[in-house]
Amino acid sequence: MALDGMFLSFMCKEVNDVLAGSKVDKIHQPGKNELVFIMRTRGGMHKLYFSADANSPRFCIVENTPENPQTPPMLCMLFRKRLVGATLISVEQYGLDRIAFFNFDATNEIGDRVKLTLAVEIMAQHSNVILFDNDNNRIVDALRRVDAQTSSFRLVLPGAQYKLPPAQEKIDLRESEPSEACEAILKNENAKLSSAIIKTIQGISPLLSRELSYRACGDDKGVSELASEEKLNLFTELSTLKTKLQSGECEPSIVLNEAQKPMEFSFLPITQYGNALKVIKKENVFSLLEGFYSERDRFLRTRSKASELFKTLDNLIERTSRKLNNQHE
């Protein structure tokens, strides 16, 4: 999955640049794992989209959103009650993990100011959007509730304490020296370089680890096979990556397959495919995400509708066959 912790850091920066200080004007829930916040800024309205879908979890500022149901779900009504009129103070990332905290200054039922946080956890099938009260860390509600039968470690239920997922003991490149990170990677002598990078560096995807390996040695060699020059190249690439993360310098890029459909994306140009695949740059991370996922979501929605149609047809065929057999008898 290309939406790793490093890419998320650029997403958080972009939301802060555009929406910090904005107010929640409306909230919609197009699907059971989706939320749309209409944010009002001095420059106009923006749509902030959240998805906890296992196939495409994300948040992004979008132009187009799915159609809303005529009757809003109960969760949507609750979120409206707690967050409409609230001010988005900031968006913060938990280390380089795939968790973003949207911090709101809101008002409760009696008019007192309260701090509410919307935790967006981008973790494949464990993805979630959880609203909790900052004063006591109590969960208000979530797109996906998790009870004791599902997880004994971490409950996600109204009134339960919000807990962070278990931390990974990896290096945050923003806070470590590239030499330290490079040394830690090279200790994994029995692993491929890309695997050693993933094992060592926090918030990095398989795509990006392969890209670093390709840029360092032109291939995904075993760590023990690296020459001195290739180890120096690895150090240089880690230094460049750290600079990009600290400065927020971003070159959003999408990799297209032979059919010109989006296949991968990153915050820097992907060179590992050479001339075999086409790489195009986007204006910002959110135009990249909207373009990448709109095609995928369209396909998934079509497949879901097709699945329902096939199920209906199978039932009709079975019923007709049963009637036909009865008539023959």
Beta-strand relationship, 23-28 and 34-41: antiparallel
- Average pLDDT value for residue range 262-276: 90
Interval 210-243: pLDDT, tens: 999 999 999 899 999 999 999 999 999 999 999 9
pLDDT of residue 257: 84
Interval 13-38: pLDDT, tens: 999 999 999 999 999 999 999 999 99
Q: Which of 56, 120, 38, 60 is nearest to 252 (CA)?
A: 60
- Average pLDDT value for residue range 282-298: 83
Interval 49-85: pLDDT, tens: 999 988 889 999 999 888 888 899 999 999 999 999 9
pLDDT of residue 2: 66
pLDDT of residue 66: 84
If one compares 300 and 161, the residue with the highest pLDDT of the two is 161
- Which pLDDT band, with edges at 50, 70 and 90, does 148 fall under? confident
- Which pLDDT band, with edges at 50, 70 and 90, does 262 fall under? confident
Return the percentage of the chain with pLDDT > 70, whole number. 97
Supply the DSSP symbol for 66. P
Q: Which of 277, 284, 281 is nearest to 263 (CA)?
A: 277
Residue 194 has pLDDT above 70, yes or no: yes
Supply the DSSP symbol for 101. E
If one compares 249 and 16, the residue with the highest pLDDT of the two is 16
Residue 176 has pLDDT above 70, yes or no: yes
Interval 98-133: pLDDT, tens: 999 999 999 988 888 999 999 999 998 899 999 999
pLDDT of residue 261: 82
- Average pLDDT value for residue range 253-276: 88
pLDDT of residue 166: 81
Return the percentage of the chain with pLDDT > 90, whole number. 72
pLDDT of residue 301: 67
Q: Average model confidence (pLDDT) for the chain?
A: 92
CA distance linking residue 271 with residue 223, whole number of Å: 21
Would you state the structure tokens that stand for residue 171, as one six-digit string?
């290096």
CA distance linking residue 76 with residue 54, whole number of Å: 20
Evaluate the CA torsion angle 142, 143, 149, 150 in order and state its sign.
negative
Model confidence, pTM: 0.86
pLDDT of residue 55: 84
pLDDT of residue 306: 83
